[in-house]
Structure 1
C-alpha cells in the first residue's frame, strides 16, 4: 500500500497567453489549472504516492474542471469541499531573454479564501497520513485561509505526519509585517522548511548577508548562517533553499542547499533553458518530499528534488509530467537530452 500524503491550498484557473505573446497582444488564452499545493499533489501521485488534495471549489462547471484536472493525474479529490462562488484566476505572460514573465491575479473572494475551518474534517483527512505539505500562499489569501492552515498542521502533527511548508511569499497578497505575524506562529508545527532568500527574509525576518540577488550571482555560504539561525529558532528538521541564478528570463542556473543541523549539502547546478518556470518550486518541493519519504539521505533527496525541478522548467503548464525514472536518470548524471530509444 502506497504512503498517504496530503496537500492543502488553492487551485486556480491559469489563463496563459499563447507562446510568448504579451497580454496586450493576445486574442485568446490557454486554460490550465494549477496552484502551489495542487502542483505538489500531482507530482506525488505521479511518483506513486496516495496523494490527497484539500481545498474548496464551487459546484459549477469551472470548479468541476479544476477537480477533473487533478483526477486526471491520479490525485485523490475525496476531501475537496464543494461550495462558494469563485475559482481564483491568474493570468500568465511568459517572458523571454531580457523581458521577465508576468502574473496578474484575480483571486479575491475565491471559494477556499472564504471557506470556514469547520467545513474540513481534519481528523479524518489525516488518518494514516505520513506527510502534509502546504505553502505560505494559503494563509496569505485570507484570515480564513490562515485558520484552516493552522488547524490542518495541528491535526497532521497529532496524526504523526511530517509537515513541510514552502514559504512562497507573495507581495500581492500581504505585507512582510502581516506575513511574519502569521507565519512565525505556524513554524512551531513545521518539520521541513523550504524557501529562497527572499521568502526567508520577508516571511520570517531572516536575511542572509552579502547576497545580491539582482546581479544573478548567489553565494551559498551566505545561506549557512541564516539556516543555522532558522533551525535554532524554530527547531526544523531540515532547512532547504533553492538557488536560482537569473541570467535572463530564458536562462537560469538552478541548484539547492539543505541543512539538517549537522551538515550542509549543496546540489549540483543545472543551467536551464526555460520553457515555463511556473511550478518550478512546487516540483522541487514534491521531489524533496519524495526523496525523504523514500528514506534517501538529505543529499540524495536534494539531488532528486533539483533534477525533478530542472525537468519541470522544460514543461508547459503548472504540473510536472515526469516519471521517477526520468528524474533518477537526470539526478544520476545524464543531462545530455539525447533521444531515449
Structure 2
C-alpha cells in the first residue's frame, strides 16, 4: 500500500435538484468536493493510504467536511481547524446545448487564510511516497501559494514523486499570474497533468490544428504540447485529457501520456454525462494509482481514462468506483448490462 498526500481545499457544493436552473431552485442538494479531495477519495477507494491536508473552519460545517473524508477511508489527521468558513460553490448542471454553470462563494475560506506555519511538511511526509496538488490551491492567495512552495520543496527533499494538475481557473486568477506562480513549482514536479486548455492558459503553449469549442482535437498538436512542457520543465511524464465536447450531455473522452520519450493514446469513450464535475480529478487519481502500482505506460493511461469515464456517470464530485469496475471497463466491458 502506497501513501499519497494531497494538499488543497475541500468545498461545500450546492446544486439545484436534477437539471433545474438556479432561478428555479427551491432547495439545493449538498455534497463536498475539491480537486485534491477528489483525488484522495479515488485513491482510498483503490486501497491506497490517502492523506488529505487542508484547513477547515472550527465549526460543525468544518467537522462535516472532515467526516466526509473519513467516510471514504481518507486520513484526516492533517485537516487542521481554523478560520471562519468553508468555501462554497454552486453548480447548475447543463443539458444538451445548455452549458453547466459554477458560481463560487469561497472568498475568505479557511484554507485561503492558511499560513506557512500551519503545516509541518517534514512530519506530514513521513513514510509518504507521492505528493499531489493542483493549480487551484495556489490561486487562493499568495499566502497559500507560499504553503504550496514549501510543500513541493519538502516533498522533493524527502524523495517523494510530485504530481501537479495545472487546473487553471479563470475565476480565481489571470493567466499571467498563474504562469508566474505555477512556474516556480514546476522544477519540483515529476508528473504534470493537464486538460486540453491548461497548457495554453497557464504557460502559453497551444495545440496546433485544434478547435476546442468545435470539438476538434489534434493528436499531433497535443504531442507537441506535451513535449514542450517536458522540455521546458524537465517533467518525467505529461498526461493530457482530451475532451471532445459534442454537447453538455455528450462528450468524447480520451487522453494522452508522454513518458520515457514515447507518446501513448488511450481508447476513446463516447460518454452520456450524468455529472462531469471531478472528471479530471478522477483521471489524476487513476493515473497516480496505476503508476504507483507498476502498470505499463499504456495500461496506466487506460486505467486512468476508464476510471474518469465512469466518474462522468456518477452524481457528485467523488468517483465512487471500485478497482474491479475500472478493470472491467479497461477490458472492454462497457455494455452497461445489469450485473446480477
TM normalised by structure 1 equals: 0.99
| Counterpart residue number, 2:285 | 286
| Counterpart residue number, 1:194 | 193
Task: Report the 3-state secondary structure (helix = DSSP H, G, I; strand = E; otherwise coil) of the residue aligned with 2:51.
Answer: strand
Task: Report the 3-state secondary structure (helix = DSSP H, G, I; strand = E; otherwise coil) of the residue aligned with 1:137.
Answer: coil
Q: Structure 1 residue 101 and structure 2 residue 89: aligned?
A: no
Q: Structure 1 residue 337 and structure 2 residue 336: aligned?
A: yes
Q: What pairs up with 1:131-280 in 2 under 5 angstroms?
A: 131-280=130-279
Measure the CA separation in 2 of the matches of 1:149 and 1:331.
34
| Counterpart residue number, 1:68 | 67
Task: Report the 3-state secondary structure (helix = DSSP H, G, I; strand = E; otherwise coil) of the residue aligned with 1:63.
Answer: helix
Task: Report the 3-state secondary structure (helix = DSSP H, G, I; strand = E; otherwise coil) of the residue aligned with 2:185.
Answer: helix
Task: Report the 3-state secondary structure (helix = DSSP H, G, I; strand = E; otherwise coil) of the residue aligned with 1:90.
Answer: strand
Task: Report the 3-state secondary structure (helix = DSSP H, G, I; strand = E; otherwise coil) of the residue aligned with 1:214.
Answer: coil
Task: Report the 3-state secondary structure (helix = DSSP H, G, I; strand = E; otherwise coil) of the residue aligned with 2:181.
Answer: helix
Q: Which runs of 4+ in 1 moved over 6 A?
A: none
Moved more, 202-211 or 158-167: 202-211
Measure the CA separation in 2 of the matches of 1:248 and 1:115.
39
1:40-86 superposed Cα distances (whole Å, 9 cap, x missing partner): 00000110011000000011000000111000000000011111011
| Counterpart residue number, 1:299 | 298
Q: Structure 1 residue 113 and structure 2 residue 112: aligned?
A: yes
| Counterpart residue number, 1:37 | 36
Measure the CA separation in 1 of the matches of 2:137 and 2:44.
21
Measure the CA separation in 1 of the matches of 2:146 and 2:190.
19
Displacement of 1:202 after TM fit? 1.1
Q: Structure 1 residue 11 and structure 2 residue 5: aligned?
A: no
Task: Report the 3-state secondary structure (helix = DSSP H, G, I; strand = E; otherwise coil) of the residue aligned with 2:208.
Answer: coil
CA contact (8 A) 2:252 2:270 kept: yes
Displacement of 1:197 after TM fit? 2.8
1:275-302 superposed Cα distances (whole Å, 9 cap, x missing partner): 0000000000000000000011111100
The runs of 5 or more residues in structure 2 that have no matched partner are none
The runs of 5 or more residues in structure 1 that have no matched partner are none
CA contact (8 A) 2:253 2:268 kept: yes
1:145-200 superposed Cα distances (whole Å, 9 cap, x missing partner): 11111111111111111000110000000001100000111101100000023110
Moved more, 241-250 or 149-158: 149-158
Moved more, 224-233 or 240-249: 224-233
Measure the CA separation in 1 of the matches of 2:163 and 2:273.
27
CA contact (8 A) 1:231 1:261 kept: no
CA contact (8 A) 1:122 1:152 kept: yes
Moved more, 269-278 or 253-262: 253-262
Measure the CA separation in 2 of the matches of 1:96 and 1:229.
36
1:238-259 superposed Cα distances (whole Å, 9 cap, x missing partner): 0110000000000000000000
1:119-153 superposed Cα distances (whole Å, 9 cap, x missing partner): 10100000111011110000011111111111111
Aligned alpha-carbon RMSD (Å): 0.7
CA contact (8 A) 2:83 2:113 kept: yes
CA contact (8 A) 1:276 1:317 kept: yes
| Counterpart residue number, 1:92 | 91
TM normalised by structure 2 equals: 0.99
Measure the CA separation in 2 of the matches of 1:150 and 1:260.
25
CA contact (8 A) 2:196 2:243 kept: no
